[in-house]
Structure 1
């Protein structure tokens, strides 16, 4: 009743000790699993299984419900942080490849589920669809948590393969929401209710596509100009306070719009992060262009970035409280005891392996894209034009394909975890419809649980032992695109660097007899042409603004007027621990 109050009682010592032990073991399990298998979230899920309803049921039911809600806020913050740190240029550049990867990650699990469950185990067609749909989703929370955990070794968010992973996982989440709507409607149809199936299936699709199209347009042509002209210079007076207020307002607005229009709240959280990433001015004199958080706090006319504000005020709460609660809440939802019968174990393991393959296959698009883009043609051309350097081309090709395959394996492995989305879909199918049997439900839970374990473990081991190779290649770290209309891009290959560039005449000054060329790309490449005796071009300054690389071969096409043609090619070879 409004106007009443909750009587204050001192909590009992048993409850206090239970809560202390729960949070202590969440931290301890995360640390142990991070050290052993490089996937701290696995320990948190295990603690949730032990303390929650599946095993010991130590936590009260209302506590578990509260932790689930707080954990979901943690999930929203994980996705929001991912949006804040997203490279918009890479997301845009690799969007088509991300769409292909996401489609592969949805269609293969459903198709292979029919192959095994429908034809092999004799499950029903609708039942198989529901189970396959639950395994077609990718856990956004796990994906972003893996990216965040790996950042101490490799900044995956700034890599090409990382941007593809983020886009594909977000698309999979939206598709998972559509699947969930379909399954909910199947339950209502089974109960004899009248349902507009077309609208309920189409609504989340229309809402998601609408938000994905409208958000960048409104941001670019309305909010960004208004913010840059009238607002951002006032932010410098208040440092983090103005930032945190705007961040909360934008996040709440986006997740509310997403919820009421029928798309995923998590998709809204990601768009909120990318919105805040785009609106500040990128001009060097802009208040949000700072080298460090300290500069933004210290300089009178500068402001900390939104990422800096998140790190100062929200990151610790998210990382040490809400994120552990989220992954432990996944453990609350796993029917652990029911898993352990002989038939369910072997069926679950077989289905797990099939579903592992169904997501790993997404990574095949990385080497396929490398082939289709024709990047190996350059190596053959350089070897032909510079026979004395043919061994460089051979070494480059081997290094390229080694790290391309590693990048593909990383992408596929990071898509493996199903987590909260998969559990939600299969539990709705089991509890709200009459189609899913207990055996099918347990088989799906086995696959979801083991894949949620195997995916992060594989990613952690890859990053630990081969992370630097991935980071330094074409699918690794990408230089920031220069401001302006010039299209100057470096597409580095793994191990060695190989690609093409495009320039405008105002970016270079050259004559036929005294040519020099400058490629501005987070630094510069200065080169001289080959001398008459066939020697390689000699870099006049550090060849490229990427550590541990030097220029080996540079081929420019000069017009009759002595101007650099609009397209040139280069190959640079890795040099350990030095710049040329």
Structure 2
């Protein structure tokens, strides 16, 4: 049975200092290198088990969960701010870049890209190519991860075709179902009375709808066998697709009307910007095997020519 107890002072102060220093380090690295995530990684490394180990494992597990929520919200924000027309016009370049770079980029390349790419840059051609390439790259990464997992668990070293085809089919299915859902919602919005539309574009309703769409797509992606951060962007595109077609007054809090993007920026973005996204990169930093980098099985030689 869970019993509420007051946290110990060392744990309380350590966690508080971690959250504070994440923002300090992010500001410093943003000023010096325009790469604030490096500050979060550095703080995570220092606080993690490989350096100081001053954060208990149960706290690290909690930070990992909160950080992954931050990653999902980062991807969701990217979907809200994506220019669909610009994405379509540059889809060929994005596929070529994402496909060729997929084997060399890590599974967190999407989160890293979103963190480094400012919202205004996402509306430019280079920005949209980088963003969509990171999405396509994750599809390639899924296939590579499936192959590596099969090879590591299979003594014969054989790879079944299902491991390669399934991530592709699931990704295509999610993309197609999203397009159908957007089309259906657009038809529904056109036939909806204006007073219903005003209720839908209230802040409370928008937050609820975004939470439902996001949770549904993430859960569906997980159980379908693909990566649950990819459909986060697609679920966001459902809201953003109808945002430009709202036949109401200008979307502004003073008018009581909140578009999906405005709702996210007003209520979610502050906690994502200053807490959850920083915790995500800090959790990655705390998990980096700093002491064993450059060695394999106790050997200091990573590559053995003999």
Instruction: Give the secondary structure class of the aligned counterpart of 1:236.
Output: helix
Q: Which residue of 1 aligns with 2:253?
A: 294
Shift of 1:104: 2.3
Shift of 1:182: 1.2
Q: Which residue of 2 aligns with 1:264?
A: 227
Q: CA RMSD in A?
A: 2.5
Aligned pair partner of 2:152 in 180, 187, 199: 187
- 2:26, 2:38 within 8 Å by CA — same for their partners in 1? yes
Per-residue displacement from partner, 1:217-274 (whole Å, max 9, x unpaired)? 3322x22211332377524236101101110011111112211212211111010111
Alpha-carbon distance between aligned partners in 1 of 2:146 and 2:77, rounded to the nearest angstrom: 27
- 1:138, 1:169 within 8 Å by CA — same for their partners in 2? no
Instruction: Give the secondary structure class of the aligned counterpart of 1:58.
Output: coil
Residues 1:140 and 1:325: Cα distance change in structure 2 (over 3 Å): same
Q: Which residue of 2 aligns with 1:337?
A: 291
Identify unmatched segments of 5+ residues in structure 1: 107-132, 298-302, 346-435, 444-580
Aligned pair partner of 2:125 in 152, 160, 172: 160
> Is the aligned partner of 1:74 residue 2:70?
yes
User: What TM-score does the superposition give when structure 1 sets the normalisation length?
Assistant: 0.49
Alpha-carbon distance between aligned partners in 1 of 2:221 and 2:299, rounded to the nearest angstrom: 35
> Is the aligned partner of 1:230 residue 2:175?
no
Q: Which residue of 2 aligns with 1:143?
A: 113
Shift of 1:29: 0.7
Q: Which residue of 2 aligns with 1:250?
A: 213
Aligned pair partner of 1:175 in 120, 135, 140: 140
Shift of 1:295: 4.8
What are the residue-to-residue correspondences of 1:146-545 with 2, within 5 Å?
146-147=116-117, 150-151=118-119, 155-190=120-155, 197-220=160-183, 222-230=184-192, 233-237=195-199, 239-280=202-243, 282=245, 286-287=247-248, 290=250, 293-297=252-256, 303-339=257-293, 344=294
Alpha-carbon distance between aligned partners in 2 of 1:142 and 1:326, rounded to the nearest angstrom: 10
- 1:86, 1:163 within 8 Å by CA — same for their partners in 2? yes
Shift of 1:314: 0.8
Alpha-carbon distance between aligned partners in 2 of 1:19 and 1:137, rounded to the nearest angstrom: 27
Per-residue displacement from partner, 1:48-101 (whole Å, max 9, x unpaired)? 000011110110111111111110010000000000010000011111111111
Structure with more relative contact order (C-alpha pairs < 8 Å, separation 6 or more): 2
- What is the count of residue pairs matched by the alignment? 302
User: What TM-score does the superposition give when structure 2 sets the normalisation length?
Assistant: 0.90
Higher strand share: 1
Which entry has the higher C-alpha Rg, 1 or 2?
Answer: 1
- 1:296, 1:305 within 8 Å by CA — same for their partners in 2? no
Shift of 1:280: 4.2
Residues 1:437 and 1:134: Cα distance change in structure 2 (over 3 Å): farther
Alpha-carbon distance between aligned partners in 2 of 1:181 and 1:441, rounded to the nearest angstrom: 27
Residues 1:279 and 1:232: Cα distance change in structure 2 (over 3 Å): farther
Shift of 1:185: 1.1
